[in-house]
Amino acid sequence: MVAADVRADSETPAGVAVRTYQVRTYGCQMNVHDSERLSGLLEAAGYARAADGQDADIVVFNTCAVRENADNKLYGNLSHLAPRKAGDPNMQIAVGGCLAQKDRDTVLTKAPWVDVVFGTHNIGSLPVLLERARHQRVAQVEIAEALQEFPSALPAARESAYAAWVSISVGCNNTCTFCIVPALRGKEVDRRPGDILAEVTTLVDQGVLEVTLLGQNVNAYGVSFADPDVPRNRGAFAELLRACGGIAGLERVRFTSPHPAEFTDDVIEAMAATPNVCPTLHMPLQSGSDRILKAMRRSYRAEKFLGIIDRVRAAIPHAAITTDIIVGFPGETEEDFQATLDVVARARFASAFTFQYSKRPGTPAAELADQLPKEVVGERYQRLIALQEQISWDENKAQVGREVELLVAAGEGRKDAATARLSGRARDGRLVHFDAGGADIRPGDIVTTTVTRAAPHFLVADGPVRTHRRTRAGDAHAAGRRPVTGVGLGMPGIGAPPATATTDCSTSGCAL
């Protein structure tokens, strides 16, 4: 069951002192979607989102633990808030997510002014923990060891009126030696297909045009359904993609991330045969060296990876394929690194998320010998960047002259005084900055235009817009409405009493 509501950002009862919140997010798409749930929970409990640029009564950090700089960034930001917290004891700070799950009591040791620490498995506890900390004036720490309820049952205040994340699973059953995620998010648990499709339909009913199906390993979907009475189904992900194709009004479907070891041809066939599944694929490589892939416990090899890429391009010729690559894994030799460069050159990725290996305590790779000097890793990283930048630019140049359909986006703009460009995403995921020609085009609308110029990370379309379709998503964005999904938990309102009457503060001198 999925309950829905649509709220404007400014909806607060007149004359009522409402405590405000801000959620700061680090990390992957999973964390971004979790932050939407945190926002939904807080709004359901009576809090209001703080206006941009204003201090919030409650600041929530939704953290990542994949890379070392995430730790440093969190504790640096907590330090910046310490003076404000000292001057306003009613302000509250909460830390959740993967780093909170990993560090637990360490958070309070390093930042004793934090009020609440909660883990990846119990984000639904945040409003109660905040209220308890406020009344008892004692920090609250709650770290559940296992999933308590599927997160999609929680209220979610969506960030976008036109595009939405939809979780199909949580957790991961892989044992990659560099990755701490399975230890923090647990074993894979999949949602029932009917629940996923109901959520997608609810979003589309509110005007959403694009959904991205989320999972740590989406093509393992069907391994472990949340409902034990639903049997394992290895073809479940391909079936889910085809089912999304039958939802009227759903114009774009994306997914992330698959795993090369389990990526099967039925998924490729479903992608090619389902019109609203976008011609794009994010396929993490990590390394092009078979020796390093084995040390990473990535159960595929370079030729298998390249075979998948070839089959996808045979079925979907204009597919834009992106990837993740780690440079400097322990023991990586120059020969190993050259193998990665060779695969990158053959695969011709549209773009790549590239990372210098980061040693994470608690992972098997952290205990491996032959940890590489930072200067060696940095030099290799720059060579990889140079190669991929050139490939991305070459691949983007091939788009010049092509007509593209864009879902106009907010927050990705490249405006200037001369062109007043807007931005949008093509169906293959490429970012396009286009000349709106003075037309009233809103985020969430659909336009078609022609690419006139290319850069490594974006395209430019400075010709006239060929078509412009106004959409319900554009209407919602213009009105400041955000889709809300999730089942209400029946929680008491926290932070703001219900409004019983409208008070004229000009005569009564309300203290807000």
Segment 96-109, tens digit of pLDDT: 988 888 887 789 99
**What does DSSP say about strands 116-118 and 92-97: parallel, antiparallel, or unpaired?**
parallel
Q: Which residue has the tokens 């460069």?
A: 341
pLDDT over 60 at 508, yes or no: no
pLDDT over 60 at 287, yes or no: yes
* 148 vs 478, more confident: 478
pLDDT over 50 at 3, yes or no: no
Q: Is 106 helix (H, G, I), strand (E, B) or coil?
A: helix
Residue 212 tokens read as: 């991205």
Q: Provide the pLDDT for residue 414.
A: 58
CB atoms within 10 A of CB 442: 20
**The pTM is what?**
0.83
pLDDT over 70 at 146, yes or no: no
Q: Provide the pLDDT for residue 489.
A: 38
Q: Provide the pLDDT for residue 26.
A: 84
Torsion of CA 353, 357, 362, 367, to 10 degrees: 150
Domains and CATH numbers, the chain: 20-142 (3.40.50.12160), 154-398 (3.80.30.20), 402-484 (2.40.50)
Residue 497 in contact with residue 16, Cβ under 8 Å? yes
Q: Provide the pLDDT for residue 127.
A: 92
How big is the chain, counted in residues?
A: 512
Sort 156 into a burial class: Cβ within 10 Å, 0-12 / 13-18 / 19+: buried
Q: Best-predicted range by mean pLDDT among 118-127, 165-174, 244-253, 475-484? A: 244-253
List the one residue out of 236, 233, 151, 222 whose CA is nearest residue 188.
Answer: 222
How are the residues of the chain apportioned to helix, strand and coil, as percentages rounded to the nearest 5?
35, 20, 45
Q: Provide the pLDDT for residue 231.
A: 73
Q: Provide the pLDDT for residue 153.
A: 76
Mean of all residue pLDDT scores within the chain: 87
Share of the chain above pLDDT 70, in %: 88
Out of 101-115, 146-160, 304-318, least confident range: 146-160
For residue 152, is the peptide bond before it cis, meaning its omega torsion is within 30 degrees of 0? no
Residue 195 tokens read as: 């629940």
Sort 175 into a burial class: Cβ within 10 Å, 0-12 / 13-18 / 19+: middle
**What does DSSP say about strands 459-461 and 453-454: parallel, antiparallel, or unpaired?**
antiparallel
pLDDT over 60 at 492, yes or no: no
The CA distances from residue 83 to 88, 113, 238, 315, in Å, are 9, 10, 52, 58
List the one residue out of 168, 139, 208 whose CA is nearest residue 471.
Answer: 208
pLDDT over 50 at 237, yes or no: yes
Out of 55-64, 114-123, 415-424, least confident range: 415-424
The annotated binding site is made up of 28, 64, 98, 172, 176, 179
- Sign for the CA dihedral angle at 89, 71, 217, 263 comes to positive
pLDDT tier for residue 503 given thresholds of 50, 70 and 90: very low
Out of 20-34, 81-95, 327-341, least confident range: 20-34
The annotated binding site for [4Fe-4S] cluster is made up of 28, 64, 98, 172, 176, 179
The CA distances from residue 382 to 67, 135, 369, 376, 377, in Å, are 19, 52, 24, 10, 9
> Rounded mean pLDDT of 394-410?
97
* d(C-alpha 362, C-alpha 71), whole Å: 14
333-341 contact pairs (CB < 8 A, 24+)? 335/289, 336/287, 336/289, 336/291, 336/292, 337/289, 337/380, 337/383, 337/384, 339/287, 339/288, 339/289, 339/290, 339/292, 339/302, 340/285, 340/287, 340/288, 340/289, 340/384, 341/288, 341/383, 341/384, 341/387
